[in-house]
Structure 1
């Protein structure tokens, strides 16, 4: 069977090269992108996105068109695993049998046949195959966390979102699941905050039991209940008992309630691969505490001065930002990219003392890494870098 697909348009993005392009849409949540549905697809392309303005987010399905691999491997080395291998279908690697990507992007505005997104993690010129509205009822797994409160789980997020949660101006004092006007974003943010606390507990549990022999009999009790604290945010406390016994290869599970936390703990500790009764989402244990840590980002004084020359209204066209508006937005984008350590496994392990280069909008960035610090040392227009134009 031959399958042929035709792009509906190409994404206009901040990122022109693979170096520095965020690996997930949640990494640089403010990164803008523009997609125009082409007339070659529909005679009236604006008709195809009618109604999309009623949604806050959309799934964007695209092609990893810059892949340079001649064949696909069954096992890959995700950057966050720092060299360890895992199956390609248990990873987000772009090198897949069918090089298709999927991103959940925020819809900022729609003008005719053009959609303005934020949180874009694609290279400029990426072919887009399809757009589908994000519908929490269908797309977001839910978890019961004490008192039967259901919260959507935000499985991927950046540190910027966590900082946003601490801003009392951006969240409500309590969750009201029965109010239709409660925004999806608020629910996702609060769900993430509750999940973060649960994952911390699960991570501590795994760390404290990782060295025990499988033949040992383990009996653990943990109490978890979601309750509002003085700031109006939810914390996990209270009562839920979880027992399990491992003896050789046999596992007995006694659980009256399932939750994302219990699944995280029991699947790793008990070594089970399938729990048919568990309906809550589960993630790989290494995601709880990935080997690659987040970095502290600094700028030299000279680099900050160079950054001030870039703006949308700069008299020099080489310094005119295309998608970003001002130096502050450019600095934020650079910081979020570096905070997640954009280096490949090879660069991280074998090129520790080498300079690292990437681009954001029309800005070419030079930086270096030292342990858990990334420092930006020079910024200049992309037009001034001759090597880039030869590619």
Structure 2
């Protein structure tokens, strides 16, 4: 159907071009508007940019089918990104200092979007056919086919980044790499930083200032500091620390119980016993304290955490387990064995099993496959293995794991 529609569209375009050319022959030439500024700065100010990939992904996923939709679905998934020398004369210089970070943001292009069509409403597979706005999802089918992944940075070797926890396929063009900084990118971390920067009650002579980084020491000093009631505890307006004594409502009653416990404890024991008791108190305090600040600061759509599509139980047939055990890890010492297949990214058959479970438990099938092709076999490729499985009611079973017939090309696209 798509091929037919494409041919019809091409015929319409050719007929329109032919009609326009005939009209232009009989009409006098008109002055054309001046072309837009050719400088890159002017183009950038008008929102027109020409992106140049800084490199291409080498991934354990060679095709779209079976590739995780989110990086957290399959932890053992691995990839490599080598920077192009056409972008930097010394690519390794551009990576200097990046090894100090554990995670990086990878901005890339969805280069396998097919006909590049997009709609205002989409049907995420996680919603099982329900429609939502495209900008409320991570759908690859969008006006600008840009992708964003938070990947784990395992190591840097020269001009190559070794990544894991990825959801990108082989040959993905990468536009940029940025370090992940929790203080800037995590709302929960921002919350704690904002609380520390709130005006302290230390300026008031009749109040007790408590450090948010030492909540338990402050609890231990309640008896010794002369605070006789909960009403005497400090209160900082607009900044309620979950780890300090400045808490409203029900938490104050809990603090009274903590103070009663402390008054019955022996403070003459060694520092080791005090620290152990303080750790126990802090754990009990965190278990009972409501997390009112975090939930009000960061919220997400309910279907993200509780989707209509349930997680599936993943099973392996004995035949598939034996086939998977035949694969050698990527870093196997000793002479290579030609009669046994070898992984290119995965470090062991156990890691491959975990990766397969992660991919299949999230149900990688499209809505069409779930409804119209639910009795068909499902195939996908992981690293150098072709996996065949079938889906039942609430479970998926791996039938066989065979080496790929055409291994992933080890050369980089430049």
Question: TM-score, normalising length from structure 2?
Answer: 0.62
The equivalent of 2:268 in structure 1 is none
Q: Show the 5 A alignment for 1:102-181.
A: 102-142=148-188, 178=213
Q: 1:354 aligns with which of 376, 390, 397?
A: 376
Q: Classify 1:377/1:149 alpha carbon distance in 2 versus 1 (closer, same or farther; 3 Å).
A: farther
Deviation of 1:325 after TM superposition, in Å, equals 2.6
2: CA distance between counterparts of 1:86 and 1:24? 18
Work out which of the two has the higher radius of gyration on C-alpha atoms and give 1 or 2: 2
Q: 2:123 aligns with which of 77, 80, 94?
A: 77
Residue correspondences, number: 283
Deviation of 1:316 after TM superposition, in Å, equals 2.9
8 Å contact kept, 1:143–1:259 = no
Q: Classify 1:178/1:316 alpha carbon distance in 2 versus 1 (closer, same or farther; 3 Å).
A: farther
The equivalent of 1:337 in structure 2 is 359
Q: Classify 1:234/1:293 alpha carbon distance in 2 versus 1 (closer, same or farther; 3 Å).
A: farther
Q: 1:87 aligns with which of 133, 136, 146?
A: 133
**2:309 maps to 1:289:** no
Q: Classify 1:352/1:43 alpha carbon distance in 2 versus 1 (closer, same or farther; 3 Å).
A: same
The structure where strand makes up a greater share of residues is 1
8 Å contact kept, 1:311–1:321 = yes
For structure 2, the residue ranges without an aligned partner over 5 or more in a row are: 1-45, 197-210, 215-248, 259-278, 408-414
2: CA distance between counterparts of 1:62 and 1:320? 29
The equivalent of 2:267 in structure 1 is none
8 Å contact kept, 2:113–2:141 = yes
The equivalent of 2:321 in structure 1 is 304
Deviation of 1:330 after TM superposition, in Å, equals 1.4
1: CA distance between counterparts of 2:68 and 2:320? 22
Deviation of 1:59 after TM superposition, in Å, equals 0.4
8 Å contact kept, 2:387–2:400 = yes
**2:105 maps to 1:59:** yes
The structure where helix makes up a greater share of residues is 2
Deviation of 1:120 after TM superposition, in Å, equals 1.2
Q: Show the 5 A alignment for 1:3-42.
A: 3-42=49-88
Q: Show the 5 A alignment for 1:217-366.
A: 237-238=288-289, 259-261=293-295, 263=296, 280-312=297-329, 315-316=337-338, 319-366=341-388
**2:370 maps to 1:367:** no
Q: 1:101 aligns with which of 124, 133, 147?
A: 147
